[in-house]
C-alpha cells in the first residue's frame, strides 16, 4: 500500500529579506565603538567589531523550519500546551535583548502540529526587532492561520534589559503579555482553563 507524505512546507515569511552584510556591519560596529570612545586596538577588543556583527546577525536571522503536522486521527479535542519555552528577542526601541518564557497552546482541529514547532515559531518571530506585544500576537495569529485551530493561546513573560540594566533600572521586573483567539477568547471557562494550565 502506498502512503502519501503529509506536506512539510518550509516556513520562511521573510522571502526577499536582505542577507546580513557582515563586512559592512563590522565596519559600522568599529565606528560605533570608536564613537563611544572605546579603544578597539587593545588585544581584547581587536576582534570585537567582527564578533558584534556576527552576534547581532545571529540574533536577528530566523532559522527556517518545517511545518510538520499530523492528522488528528484520535479526534483529540482538548488543549495542547507547551510551557516554559525559553526565548530571547531584541527590543526594537533600544536594540537590547529581552528574555523570558512562553506558553503556547491550541485546541486542535483536523490536524495537530509537531510539538517542537510551538517553540520554533516563537523563536522565528523573536529573531527580529520586536515588541513583546507584537511577538505574542504574531505567534498566535500564525498558529491559527496555519492549523485552522479552534482556539490558540500565547502567553509570554519576559525581562527587558532596556528596563532592568539601564534607564528605569527596574531590576527583577517582568512583563506579561497574552493573545487568546477563538474559543479561548470567547468562552470564559476555556480561558480560565488555559490560564490555569499555563500557570500564569
Bind-site residues for Zn(2+): 91, 94, 162
- Selected binder of ligand GTP within 132, 136, 139, 179 (CB under 6 A): 132
133 binds ligand GTP (CB under 6 A): yes
90 binds Zn ion (CB under 5 A): no
- Selected binder of ligand GTP within 46, 55, 93, 95 (CB under 6 A): 93
Cβ-proximal residue to Zn ion, closest one: 162
Partner interacting with residue 132 (select from ligand GTP, Zn ion, none; CB below 5-8 Å by kind) = ligand GTP
* Least distance to ligand GTP, CB of residue 192, Å: 26
Question: Which string of DSSP letters, residue by residue, matches 115-150?
Answer: THHHHHHHHHHHSSEE-HHHHHHHHHHHHHHHH--S
Cα–Cα distance, 72 to 63 (Å, whole number): 27
Chain mean position to CA 35: 32
- Selected binder of Zn ion within 93, 116, 166, 192 (CB under 5 A): 93
Provide the edge-to-edge strand list for the sheet that holds 151-160. 129-130, 80-91, 97-107, 151-160, 175-182
Q: What contacts 92, CB < 8 A, 6 or more positions away?
A: 129, 130, 131
88 binds ligand GTP (CB under 6 A): no
User: Interaction with Zn ion in 130-169: which residues (CB under 5 A)?
Assistant: 162
CB–CB of 156/87 below 8 Å?
yes
- Selected binder of ligand GTP within 91, 147, 151, 152 (CB under 6 A): 91
| Cell of residue 60, nine digits | 536577528
Nearer to Zn ion, 72 or 161 (CB): 161
Q: What contacts 115, CB < 8 A, 6 or more positions away?
A: 80, 82
- Give the residues lining the site for ligand GTP (CB under 6 A): 91, 93, 131-133, 160, 162-163, 167-168
Amino acid at each position: 500500500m502506498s502512503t502519501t507524505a503529509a506536506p512539510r512546507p518550509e516556513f520562511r515569511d521573510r522571502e526577499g529579506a536582505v542577507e546580513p552584510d557582515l563586512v559592512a556591519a563590522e565596519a559600522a560596529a568599529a565606528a560605533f565603538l570608536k564613537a563611544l570612545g572605546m579603544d578597539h586596538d587593545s588585544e581584547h577588543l581587536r576582534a570585537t567589531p567582527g564578533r558584534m556583527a556576527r552576534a547581532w546577525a545571529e540574533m536577528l536571522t530566523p532559522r527556517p523550519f518545517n511545518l510538520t503536522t499530523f492528522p488528528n486521527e484520535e479526534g483529540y479535542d482538548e488543549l495542547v500546551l507547551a510551557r516554559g519555552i525559553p526565548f530571547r528577542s531584541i527590543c526594537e526601541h533600544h536594540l537590547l535583548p529581552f528574555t523570558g518564557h512562553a506558553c503556547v497552546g491550541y485546541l486542535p482541529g483536523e490536524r495537530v502540529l509537531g510539538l517542537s514547532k510551538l517553540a520554533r515559531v516563537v523563536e522565528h518571530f523573536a529573531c527580529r526587532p520586536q515588541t513583546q506585544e507584537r511577538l505574542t500576537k504574531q505567534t498566535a495569529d500564525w498558529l491559527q492561520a496555519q492549523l485552522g485551530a479552534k482556539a490558540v493561546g500565547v502567553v509570554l513573560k519576559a525581562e527587558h534589559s532596556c528596563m532592568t540594566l539601564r534607564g528605569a533600572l527596574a531590576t527583577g521586573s517582568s512583563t506579561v503579555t497574552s493573545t487568546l483567539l477563538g474559543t479561548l477568547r470567547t468562552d470564559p471557562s476555556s480561558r480560565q482553563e488555559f490560564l490555569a494550565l499555563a500557570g500564569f
